[in-house]
Amino acid sequence: MHSESIEPRPWAQWLLGVPAVLTIGGIAAAANFRFGQTLGGQSEVDALLFGAGGVALVALNFIMPGAAAGAARRGARIQQAVCIGLFAVCAAFTLTSSVGFSSSHRADYAGDRAQAAERFERAKADVARLEGDLATMKASAKYQDSAGCADVRSWQREFCAAVSAKEAEMARTKAVMSAGRPAAIDAQAETLAALMGYKSQDVSTALSVSLAVVYELVASLGFYAVAHGGPVKAARIMRLEPAPDPVSSKPVSSVQEAARLLASRPRNASRRRALPKQPKAKLAADKRSLQEA
């Protein structure tokens, strides 16, 4: 009889790991839903169907590793192969969807910052132009005669209206400049590109792909790795060795003893097991003793 211990699964690993994996899985499902909506085009029904399909595939990624492991323990090789194949197909689709969502989101973010930088530069140039125009207008006789457009006469109204329009345009342009200019379009990609010597666009693409890969790997395999089996207490499994067969383990000294052992043998014992072979001389002696008796 042997015993072996089962190590308990740490509660901290289960309590902290499961919520973390579920959170990442939820993010992966949301990303697949959002990207699936873009595949639906203008139709709201099609967008909903594609989005729900992406969420279902992420859910299958959750359960396929555990299903494949269970099939392997039961020896169901065909079911195990089917589970692995389904996992590979679902993981490939959800990965491409996550890459599409991540890349489009990063492109939109970089595009917004690029537009902000362009607006700042354009406003900066407009401020310089407007300052020159206003300086020219205020140096004119019409502006001086109207006391800075404070005492406007009929023949000065058009001119002062133009001055007011220029001042309003200057205020709007300075408001755009007050928002500031982004220091970088994609600071992470530009910094890594400078360190590694690659183009920032290539680094940005690699970051989008790596982010999607990390999320999909954790969402697909993290749940099985962290939560499979749940927290268990320490236990000991007792293994009983089969009892030795009395016929095969004891030496047989006579035919009578062999017959007695066969009669006492359990009914469910294997009949294919033969008696130990006896020397021919001993068997002949036993036969003679039986005849004399």
Scanning the structure block, which residue is given the tokens 């594609």?
50
Scanning the structure block, which residue is given the tokens 């999909």?
216
Determine, yes or no, domain membership for 191: no
Predicted local confidence at residue 225, as pLDDT: 79
Question: pLDDT category, 227, cuts 50, 70, 90?
Answer: low
Output 268 or 286, whichever has higher pLDDT: 286
- Tell me the sheet residues that pair with 236: 5
78, 46: one domain: yes
Domain that holds residue 150: 116-178
168, 276: one domain: no
Determine, yes or no, domain membership for 189: no
> Do the beta carbons of residue 14 and residue 230 sit within 8 Å?
yes
Output 270 or 212, whichever has higher pLDDT: 212
219, 252: one domain: no
Task: Work out how many domains the chain is built from and give that number.
Answer: 3
Determine, yes or no, domain membership for 184: no
Predicted local confidence at residue 78, as pLDDT: 92
Whether residue 164 is predicted with pLDDT greater than 80 in this model: the reply is yes
Q: What is the pTM of this model?
A: 0.54
Report, as an integer, the average pLDDT of 61-79. Answer: 88
Q: Of 148, 178, 208, which one is at a domain's C-terminal end?
A: 178
Whether residue 275 is predicted with pLDDT greater than 70 in this model: the reply is no
Q: Distances from the Cα of 205 to the Cαs of 34, 104, 211, 256, 260, in angstroms?
A: 19, 10, 10, 88, 84
| Closest-CA residue to 129 (of 161, 159, 180, 174) | 174
Determine, yes or no, domain membership for 63: yes
Predicted local confidence at residue 40, as pLDDT: 78
85, 157: one domain: no
| pLDDT above 70: percentage of residues in the chain | 73
Predicted local confidence at residue 283, as pLDDT: 61
Determine, yes or no, domain membership for 132: yes
| Identity of the amino acid at 54 | G
Predicted local confidence at residue 266, as pLDDT: 55
Question: pLDDT category, 200, cuts 50, 70, 90?
Answer: confident
125, 137: one domain: yes
pLDDT tens by residue, 104-158: 888 888 888 888 888 888 888 888 888 888 888 888 887 777 777 777 777 777 8
Determine, yes or no, domain membership for 185: no
Please classify residue 222 by burial: count the beta carbons closer than 10 Å to its beta carbon, then call 0-12 exposed, 13-18 middle and 19+ buried. Answer: buried
DSSP string, the chain: -EEEEEPPPPHHHHHHHHHHHHHHHHHHHHHHHHHHHHHTTT-HHHHHHHHHHHHHHHHHHHHHHHHHHHHHHHT-HHHHHHHHHHHHHHHHHHHHHHHHHHHHHHHHHHHHHHHHHHHHHHHHHHHHHHHHHHHHHHTSHHHHHTTTTTS--GGGHHHHHHHHHHHHHHHHHHHHHHT---S-SSHHHHHHHHHHT--HHHHHHHHHHHHHHHHHHIIIIIHHHHHTT-----EEEEEPPPPPPHHHHSPP-SHHHHHHHHHHS-TTS-TTPPPPPPPHHHHHHHHHHHHH-
109, 162: one domain: no
Question: pLDDT category, 264, cuts 50, 70, 90?
Answer: low
Output 77 or 249, whichever has higher pLDDT: 77
Determine, yes or no, domain membership for 68: yes
111, 201: one domain: yes
230, 204: one domain: yes
Output 221 or 261, whichever has higher pLDDT: 221
148, 107: one domain: no
212, 97: one domain: yes
pLDDT tens by residue, 90-110: 888 888 888 888 888 888 888
Q: Lowest-confidence range among 115-124, 212-221, 273-282?
A: 273-282
Determine, yes or no, domain membership for 91: yes
265, 125: one domain: no
151, 224: one domain: no
Output 74 or 234, whichever has higher pLDDT: 74
Highest mean pLDDT, choosing among 113-117, 183-187, 282-286:
113-117
Give dist(CA 139, CA 155) in Å, integer.
17
Whether residue 249 is predicted with pLDDT greater than 80 in this model: the reply is no
Output 94 or 9, whichever has higher pLDDT: 94
| Identity of the amino acid at 77 | R
Task: Look up residue 78 and give its two tokens.
Answer: 């065909």
Predicted local confidence at residue 81, as pLDDT: 93
Give dist(CA 29, CA 220) in Å, integer.
11
